[in-house]
Structure 1
Amino acid sequence: MTDLQSRSSWWRGVIGAAILIAGCIASFSYIFGGGSWNTLSQLEAAQFSTIATTELFGTTSYQNTSPSSSLTSRLSKWRGLTSFEQPLSMLQGQLLPVAYQGTLSTSQQGSLFSSVQQFGQTNQRIVMGWIPYANPVQTIHLIQANAGLNVASPLWLSLKSSDGSVSSKIEPSVVQYAHQHHVQVWALVDNQFNAGLSHQVLSNPNARNNLVSNLVSLATKNHLDGLNIDFENMQSQDQQGFTDFIKSLHQALVGKHIVLSVDITPDIQFLQDSAAYFHAALAGYADYVVLMAYDEHWSTDQTPGPVADLPWVTTSIEDLLDTGVPADKLVLGVPFYARFWHVHQDGSVDSIAVPLSEVDSILKQHQATSSFNQQLGVAYARYSKPDGYEEVWFSTQETLNRELQLVQNDNLAGVSIWSLGLSDPTSWSSVIHGLTQMLS
């Protein structure tokens, strides 16, 4: 710790970048020089631990911790958040655990670092929209109505049974239309939000391999540009199985020019990812990791709150960056909906999700006015009901601008909207305008 204190002036960005570059050079040297993957993992963890102890939180927090704060005070703050005293030991256990055991090709070993070299070579950001529709006419209409979209992700593929079979609703006419209009199609693949079914498949190597084979066959046969894996509501015990699934799918797609992206929910535990998503490994195998930064408060909550306030979104982004997801692989998922909460007189709570475009009309119906909460970065309104009251937190133009600024500040790969079916011309145009300004 004395050595770290003597380097307290190094924590700022220039030194952090130098450390990261040094780590990349050392890692590549080791990869091409031979040796065990376990030793490489230790080397990689050592580099990340240096960054962690000098940068602590990786990116500037939403609360704007003063850059002039001493390293000693920031380390004290860090220790207040975690019981870990040895960053290297912690990261060896958390950043690169057993998911990396086994023999990998040289290209796969270097995948975690390749984005460092590639970052900044292109100014094209991803503008993706999820489309929860099977009807080809509706899907084409949504692609057509949202000018500036460069990736469409329609819900076409679902895990069907425990043997790894897949149900498909792929529409060739949509793929053809999208390609004619320079829009890529990354078919959304879900697990029906079924934890039990997911466990049966992910814990069975034969079922996993069958699932991979089915997905690759469907993607190639239908000329898809990518697969967007959206497995949710999984058990923590399936972390290894899910990682192995993504690894196998990545290996099967190599050379086929099919993009692999993985959707993950926020798992905000400081420098840990103990739920079903092992961040660093997923980022190592997938081309993109899409953070579903919404449902901070969702339908079953008995405490009303925002769908996604800015401090929570910021912390979610920082958590992924701190646990091994490169910035240029991270896509920010943005909700185009709000949730109205009905708090009854007996204290019970229920809610309903509505498109952002409908919030104003609902407030007008109840003659309610809203105010913008600068700290949370969202607007708030409340009005009386015969049986209690209703309240809503919702995104505004200012919220969207701030979310896009996060993308810019952290050099993220782009944004994805849930969903195009909830989009309205004003909200969508603000996203496109904001991204255009960033790229100009």
Structure 2
Amino acid sequence: MNRSICTGVLLCISLFLFGGHMKAEVIHITQKGDSLYKIGDRYNVTADQLAKLNGMPGERKLVQGQSILIPGQSYMVQPGDSLYKIAKRHQIPIDELMELNGLHSSLILTGDTLQIPQKEKTNVKVGAYFIPKDQGYNDEMMSALGRYLTTIYLFSYNPNQDGTLSSLPLNNSVAEAWRKGISPFATLTNLSGSGFDPELAHDLMANENKRKKLIENLYMVLDRHDYKGVVIDFEGLRPEDRSLFSSFIKQVGERLHPHNMEVHIAVPPMSGSRSPSYAAAYDYKTLGRYADSLFLMTYNWHWLGGASGPIAPIQEIKKTLDFATSVVPREKLMLGIPMYAYDWVVSKEGVKGKAYSVQHAISKYIQHESSIHYDEQSEAPWFRYKDEAGRTHEVWFEDPRSLLAKFELVRGYRLGGMGAWQLDFSIRQSETLLRSEFNVLK
């Protein structure tokens, strides 16, 4: 995945396997003075239930503008609400909202109770990247979250200049994945000491002997460790290596497919065949023909080295999906959904920002009692705080509103599924929403 994410941000998408078509939660946006006890009284649920549903820490503090999931289908109208806002927040058509509640006009009043329409669950594949550690950790993660996954991508095998591969301390993770009903995949990157290395990838793909050796070594690793297949995560490739990369993927498939092994590819977001030009090496149409799945890295439009802003703006994701679905079978596409935050220092130039998990972002805005803002155009939340040195930080992250908007893209574009980076930073709200929206395929 993207190097800045790879250095410290771990992302997870997970699913609960519940059947039926009931929508189990509504999204409440906290007001000034709200507490779990006050919210619970309004919705006739306990503070303990709300805390568990939302994975809240022991202090259970709330800040203004925070997204809280409430069990059930009943939603209480808050100050500043409108039918449009409520429908958009829950990703439902406004006419369905009006029909279910017997409304003949858009007039609603604070304190009114509305029923949120149910959605029929759809089936999706779900993948997550995983960095294996000791066996106790691996077994714990598989037991806690692995049941929600179709595939798991063990990160990572890195090639040397001669086509040999680095080792990866698996510590029972592949065997445990199979026991949990998850298909384990090896991740092959072009990482070197300098990060994702386009020159290393070029040399390995362009040199016939090295290319054959790399592919054979890859097959041997997959066969020896009983992997289902490989995810090829070659990032930052030179635009002029477009044909070379497609040819490489074709040859990998020719070696693996006869042995019932799959080839997945992580690709950057694109809105056209060669747009943006710096990503022209990734020929979606050709890659989609040779590979079993394309993992769309639909995030990082704003990064730590640039200006602050939404990491995965919905309008940009749609451009990628419009193009991808025009050239690749929909069932082969996996939407990458970020579960990480970027923290920029916006009051002083030259200060490096940080990347961390959404759960850490939640702890950060509670610690600083920051108000949460929501950018409606990009479907992304953000907040600001001051550090000990008095510098102003701006943090963009994901919450139930932004996640649900992305989940609706998976449904609306009829994609094969979604994926995440990586397994051990799951947050309860994402699990709760996914349980309501989808059934995971095994």
TM-score w.r.t. the length of structure 1 is 0.67
Tell me if structure 2 keeps the 8 A contact 1:164–1:210: yes
Tell me if structure 2 keeps the 8 A contact 1:157–1:170: no
Coordinate RMSD, CA, aligned: 2.1
Q: Which residue of 2 aligns with 1:182?
A: 181
Higher deviation after alignment, 195-204 or 140-149: 140-149
Higher deviation after alignment, 166-175 or 252-261: 166-175
Tell me if structure 2 keeps the 8 A contact 1:378–1:395: yes
Q: Which residue of 2 aligns with 1:228?
A: 231
Paired with 1:163 and 1:321, the residues of 2 have a C-alpha distance of: 37
Query: When you count helix as a share of all residues, which structure comes out higher?
Result: 1
Tell me if structure 2 keeps the 8 A contact 1:134–1:156: no
TM-score w.r.t. the length of structure 2 is 0.66
**How many residues end up aligned between the 2 structures?**
312
Paired with 2:134 and 2:247, the residues of 1 have a C-alpha distance of: 33
Q: Which residue of 2 aligns with 1:318?
A: 322
* Larger RCO: 1 or 2 (CA < 8 Å, sep 6+): 2
Tell me if structure 2 keeps the 8 A contact 1:335–1:419: no
Q: Which residue of 2 aligns with 1:402?
A: 405
2:281 to 252, 257, 276: 276
Question: Cα distance, 1:272 vs. partner?
Answer: 4.7
Secondary structure class of the residue paired with 1:245 = helix
Higher deviation after alignment, 403-412 or 416-425: 416-425
Per-residue CA deviations over 1:299-353 (Å, capped at 9, x if unaligned) read 221x11122121122222223223x2211100011111011111134x4453111
Tell me if structure 1 keeps the 8 A contact 2:157–2:168: yes
Tell me if structure 2 keeps the 8 A contact 1:343–1:350: no
Q: Which residue of 2 aligns with 1:424?
A: 427
Secondary structure class of the residue paired with 1:233 = coil
- Partner AA of 2:379 in structure 1: G
1:255 to 238, 253, 258: 258
- Partner AA of 1:248 in structure 2: Q
Q: Judging changes above 3 Å, is the alpha-carbon distance between structure 1 residues 271 and 238 closer, same or farther for their aligned structure 2 residues? A: closer
Secondary structure class of the residue paired with 1:289 = strand
1:291 to 276, 287, 296: 296
Per-residue CA deviations over 1:168-213 (Å, capped at 9, x if unaligned) read 2162622221111111101111110112211111111221111111
Secondary structure class of the residue paired with 1:276 = coil
Structure 2 unaligned runs (5+)?
1-121
Tell me if structure 2 keeps the 8 A contact 1:184–1:225: yes
Q: Which residue of 2 aligns with 1:173?
A: 172
Q: Which residue of 1 aligns with 2:162?
A: 163
Paired with 1:339 and 1:273, the residues of 2 have a C-alpha distance of: 23
- Partner AA of 2:370 in structure 1: A
- Partner AA of 2:141 in structure 1: L
1:214 to 214, 217, 221: 217
Q: Judging changes above 3 Å, is the alpha-carbon distance between structure 1 residues 217 and 263 closer, same or farther for their aligned structure 2 residues? A: same
Paired with 1:188 and 1:288, the residues of 2 have a C-alpha distance of: 13
Per-residue CA deviations over 1:218-258 (Å, capped at 9, x if unaligned) read 11122111211111122112222211111001011122111
Secondary structure class of the residue paired with 1:364 = helix
Is 2:339 aligned against 1:363? no
Q: Which residue of 2 aligns with 1:306?
A: 310
Q: Which residue of 2 aligns with 1:352?
A: 354
Q: Which residue of 1 aligns with 2:339?
A: 336
1:372 to 367, 371, 374: 374
Structure 1 unaligned runs (5+)?
1-122
Question: Cα distance, 1:273 vs. partner?
Answer: 6.9
Tell me if structure 1 keeps the 8 A contact 2:130–2:154: yes
Q: Judging changes above 3 Å, is the alpha-carbon distance between structure 1 residues 430 and 143 closer, same or farther for their aligned structure 2 residues? A: farther
- Partner AA of 1:290 in structure 2: F
- Partner AA of 1:200 in structure 2: D
- Partner AA of 1:194 in structure 2: D
